Chain A
Amino acid sequence: GIQVEQSPPDLILQEGANSTLRCNFSDSVNNLQWFHQNPWGQLINLFYIPSGTKQNGRLSATTVATERYSLLYISSSQTTDSGVYFCAVGSGAAGNKLTFGGGTRVLVKP
């Protein structure tokens, strides 16, 4: 099956800093989603981005499908950005089946 690797595994930021999270995947995909898991376990949809670039406030994401990676940018980080960020991908006829990466645990310090 498809392999998904996220880096870095852990990230500590000072409030106000910018950061980039990376997601590498091993095969072509027709589904790629970024999530933020809050301390209560809820997965918040950040982006549905199998290709291209999107922005939503201080967050933006870019997927380069031909090179099999996606990047999530956090600008002007806030303490509420803390949590675990997951990238998940799906491919082929089973594009609706998501394979999750290991996550990046982000801590934003005031």
Chain B
Amino acid sequence: GAVVSQHPSWVICKSGTSVKIECRSLDFQATTMFWYRQFPKQSLMLMATSNEGSKATYEQGVEKDKFLINHASLTLSTLTVTSAHPEDSSFYICSARGTSGRGSYEQFFGPGTRLTVL
């Protein structure tokens, strides 16, 4: 159980275009989903926290107008990179936390999306 999927797994786009990444919890409902970014040979950095039906909370230094997050249902969150530039090229990973009510904060991660902006 606790499977999270992401789509697409990789994407190449031209500078100035927008790219949407989907994150789905396949076998559980996720009240909270998270978006992380990872540069080569570095650790993961939290970008934003999204709760179903409410606005996302962005970490300091993350542009909310550039990285649009929508958490429309308990199983789907989307990240849209708007007007992408080469410096946005990175590995984007989502995670989800369930609604089991057990008090566990355990997060389960998607396989990631590799974005390359030309």
With known contacts A41-B91, A86-B43, A103-B43, A35–B105 Cβ distance under 8 A = no
User: Which one, A19-27, A56-64, A68-76, A93-101, is touching chain B?
Assistant: A93-101
**CA of A49 to CA of B2, assembled, Å:** 17
| A102 located at the interface, meaning its Cβ lies under 8 Å from any Cβ of chain B in the complex | yes
Hey, which chain A residues are within 8 Å of B44, CB to CB? Answer: 43, 86, 88, 100
Asked if B43 and A98 sit within 8 Å, CB to CB, the answer is: no
**CA of A98 to CA of B96, assembled, Å:** 12
Asked if A41 and B46 sit within 8 Å, CB to CB, the answer is: no
With known contacts A86-B43, A86-B44, A98–B111 Cβ distance under 8 A = no
Asked if B105 and A95 sit within 8 Å, CB to CB, the answer is: yes
**CA of A97 to CA of B95, assembled, Å:** 11
Other-chain residue from A45, A90, A96, A103 in contact with B108 (beta carbon distance below 8 A): A45
With known contacts A101-B43, A103-B43, A30–B91 Cβ distance under 8 A = no
| B78 located at the interface, meaning its Cβ lies under 8 Å from any Cβ of chain A in the complex | no
Asked if A96 and B111 sit within 8 Å, CB to CB, the answer is: no
Asked if B106 and A43 sit within 8 Å, CB to CB, the answer is: no
Interface size in chain A (residues, C-beta < 8 A):
23
The chain A residue sitting closest to B106, CB to CB, is A48
| B67 located at the interface, meaning its Cβ lies under 8 Å from any Cβ of chain A in the complex | no
Hey, which chain B residues are within 8 Å of A41, CB to CB? Answer: 38, 91, 93, 111-112, 114
Hey, which chain B residues are within 8 Å of A31, CB to CB? Answer: 105-106
Minimum C-beta distance from A54 to chain B (A): 12
0 or 1 for each of B35-60: is its CB under 8 Å from A? (1 = yes): 00010000111100100000000000
Q: Which residues of B contact A (CB under 8 A)?
A: 2, 32, 34, 38, 43-46, 49, 91, 93, 95, 97, 104-109, 111-112, 114
Top 9 A-B residue pairs of the complex, sorted by shortest distance between their CB atoms: A31-B105, A43-B109, A48-B106, A41-B112, A100-B43, A100-B44, A95-B105, A42-B111, A96-B105
